[in-house]
Each structure stands twice: as structure tokens, then as C-alpha cells.
Amino acid sequence: MSVVYDDNDNEIPLCLSCYAIFSRTKQAEIETLERQANYYSAQIVRSVGLPASFATQFPPRYKPLYVEKMNNISVSNSVVGTINTGSINSINQTISALIQLGEVSVAEAVKGLTDAIINSKNLEPNQKNELIETIDFVSTEAVSPIENRKSIIGLNLLENGLKVIKLADDLVEVYQKYWPILESVFT
């Protein structure tokens, strides 16, 4: 969870993906203002008759390549069309945030369960998506301060997710290992 401030110094909490979008937007606004300042500076110098070297110019910015690289979760081509990749990207970012916050066991549980669910042969695509979205919510809440977590919603989602996980024989070991860690986020 990141915080930005509005014009009145009020805190506005943003999730990681929203903060990334906000940062890119602010950066684009700054670049636009720099280009406008360059234009107006050149216009003023020309209108007064001074050499162009008197115009103050911001150097051009090089556009970085924004490559969404997933460092924590691997998705093979065979399942890309069957899962919600937005949730996978969110989970990937949250795993990195959990590691930075020192919540390594929760990060490992999120990664282990997500990988197992993605690769499960016993779940239908809609069941995989339901579980991935549950893990996305739980992991996002795990990054939030304890007093701000939506514990009742989280525990209800985990309870419903447990019903789906029990349908998949290939998830039993992973469930037994990691599910209690996810429940501990809310207790």
C-alpha cells in the first residue's frame, strides 16, 4: 500500500498497481510541462531577437521501456487464456511487496498456492480464477496494516476458496502447507 498526498496534504492510500499508474501519469504531466516551457522559452527569445542559445531548454527525456516482468510467478502459454492475468500481475507485485515488508512466509504461501492453482489439472478455468482472485485479495490485504485489513471478508473468501480447493486432488499437499499461513493474515 502506497500513500499519495492531495493539494491539501490529505493522505490518499493507493494499491501498488494504482500507484504505478498514478506515478506514470504524474511523470507524463511533468514531461508535458517541460516541453511547454521549452516552447515558450524559444518563443520569447525569438520575439526579442536574441540568439537561440539564450533559450533555456529542458533536455529530451528518454522513454523507458515498461515491460511487465513477473519475477515471482511463472505462467506457461497453455494457461494464459484461461486465467485472469490482471490478478496474476497484482499477485506478482504483492509478493515482491510482502518480501520487502519481511513477510516472507506469507509471500512463499501466496507464490506456492498461486503456482499450484495455475498448474492444477483438476480445476476448471472459472475455479482457477475464483481461487486466484481470492489469493489476490488476501495477499493485497496482507500488505495493509493489520488494523486496516478486511478480516471478515478475507476469512469468508478463504472459506469459500477452501471448498473449491478440496475438489482438486493435486492441491491437497499445497493446501495443507500454505492455507493456514493465509488464514493467519486475518487472525
Domain that holds residue 44: 2-54
Query: Is-above-0.75 flag for pTM?
Result: no
pLDDT for res 78:
46
- Residues 87, 156, single domain; the answer is yes
- Residues 6, 95, single domain; the answer is no
User: Please, which residues bridge with residue 14 across strands?
Assistant: 2
- Residues 30, 84, single domain; the answer is no
Q: Please, are residues 86 and 135 in contact by the beta-carbon 8 Å criterion?
A: no
CB count in 10 Å sphere of residue 29: 10
| pLDDT one-digit tens code per residue, 111-129 | 888 888 888 888 888 888 8
Residue with cell 506457461: 76
- Residues 23, 104, single domain; the answer is no
| pLDDT one-digit tens code per residue, 87-98 | 777 888 888 888
**68 within some domain:** no
Helix, strand counts (H, E) of the chain: 6, 2
| pLDDT one-digit tens code per residue, 37-48 | 989 988 998 898
